[in-house]
Chain A
Amino acid sequence: MLSALLVILGGCWQENLPQVDIQGKVVLPRSAATRDIPVLDANGDLTYDVDGNVITEEWTDPRLIGPVYLGAYSAIDTVSFDFPHPKMGPIITADVPGDTFPYGGTTVGRIDFACYEALRCKVSTGRFTDYAAILEYFKKIGTPVVDYRGNTVDSASTFQQYCYDYFYYTSDAEISFIGDLDFTERDDGDFEAEYYMAQVTFVPGMSLWGFMDAPDILATQPEEEGTFDTCYLEYGGRSVTDYDQSYYEGGPYNDILNFPATYVQEHDFVAEGVVIDSPDETPEIVLSFEVEE
C-alpha cells in the first residue's frame, strides 16, 4: 500500500532542473537548395565554353542541403564576422575565434559514412531515400561514386551489397544514410524540417542559432566535390584497414557548435538568431543569411 503510494508520488516529483527539450522547425530558403552544377557531356565529362570556363546550370534539389547544426547561445554577435554569429567568449589565441559556450544543440542530418571511401565526408543522413538517389546525386554534380578499384558504381544493388558486406548488415533498415527525408518542400518553395534539441540548459532570453554546411560544388580538387567542411577527413570516424585499403571513414569535428566561425564557408546558410523566453515555445529557426566569399 505504502510502496504503491510512493510510486505515485515519485511520478509527481518535480526536480526543477534547468535542462529542457526544445523543438520546432528549421527553415531553409529555396536558394539554399539551389546550386550551379557542371553541365556534363554524354561521357560524363565537364564541358567548357570558348573561354575555357566550365559550363554550369542551376539545379534545385533538397539533396544539396548539407547537415544543419543548431545551438542555444547567450546572444548573437553581428559585428565580429560578415554573418550573424553566436556571442563569443574572450579570444585567447590570435586567429582563433573565442568559444561560444553553447547551452546545448542538435543537428538536422548528420555526416555519415556511406560504405565507399570515395563518399567520405560527403553524405548526410536524412537526404537520400535510397541507394539510387545517392548514385544519381553524385553523378549529377560531376563526381560519380567509385569503388576502391576506381570503377564507377552505377548499380544500386551493387551499392547495397557492398554496404551489407562492409557493415555486416542484413537489411536497409540498419543503414542510417537512406530512408525518410528530413526536409520537405513548402508551398512557398522553401524547405523545412523538424528539430529536437534535447537537454538544453535553459536560460530565459537565450538565442537559438545555426547554420547549414553546404557541400563543396565545383571544388578545386575533383575528389573534394560534394565534401562538407564540418567533416574531419584525415582522422575522423573509424579507421579502415582492409588489404590495400587504409583510411578513416571521416566524421564531424567535435567543436562545431563551440567554434562555428571556423567551419562556416561560402554558400553556407546562417540563422539571424531567435530569442526564446520559455521552454514551451516552438521557435522557427530560419537560416536566411547566405555566406558569400
Chain B
Amino acid sequence: MPANLNLLPDNLYVSKSVSSTVKTLKALNVILIVIFIIFAVGVGAYFIFEKITLSGIQTNLTQLKSQIKAQEQSETKLILLKDRLNKVASIQNSSTASKNMDNLTTLLNGTSQSFEISSANVSSNKIALSLKIYSNEDLTSFINNVKSSALFGTANLSTFNYGAGGYSLDLNLDNPVSK
C-alpha cells in the first residue's frame, strides 16, 4: 500500500485546496491581464479613430465656414427679406378701414339700388352711415340685410326719419368680423 510521505517542514507545506486556489488565481490573473490589454488597445484605437474623425469634420467645418462667408451677401439679403416679409405680414393682418369698407360694400350690394348714401365715416373698427331710402320695400330689405349680416357685431340705428323724399337713417355698425 503506497504511503503518503511529506518530508517538507510544516511551514513549507501547502495544502491541496490552497494550491488549487492559487492555480485558479493565476489563471484568472492571466485572463484579466489579457482582457485589460484588449480593453486598453480597444479604448486607444477608438480614441484615435474619434480623433481622426474629429479632425476630418473640423477640416470640413473650416471649408464650410469659408464657403458660407463667401455667401454673406446672400445671407444678408435673405435676412432682410425675411424681416420685411414678417413685418408686412403683421401690417396686413391688422384691421383697416379698407377692409371695413369692403364689408360695407358687401352689405350694400345685397340691397336694392334705391338708396343714397348721405355720408359714411369708415374706420378700422366701426362705420357711421347716413342713408336715404326711398321705399318701404327697400327699407325692409336693407334692415333685413343688416340683421342677417355676419359682417358686423352690433348695429345701432341712432336716427330714423320719414319725410317727403323717403326714409333717412343714421346707422352705427361696430366690430366687424376680422377676415
Tell whether A and B belong to one assembly. no
- Chain B residues within 8 Å of A, Cβ to Cβ: none
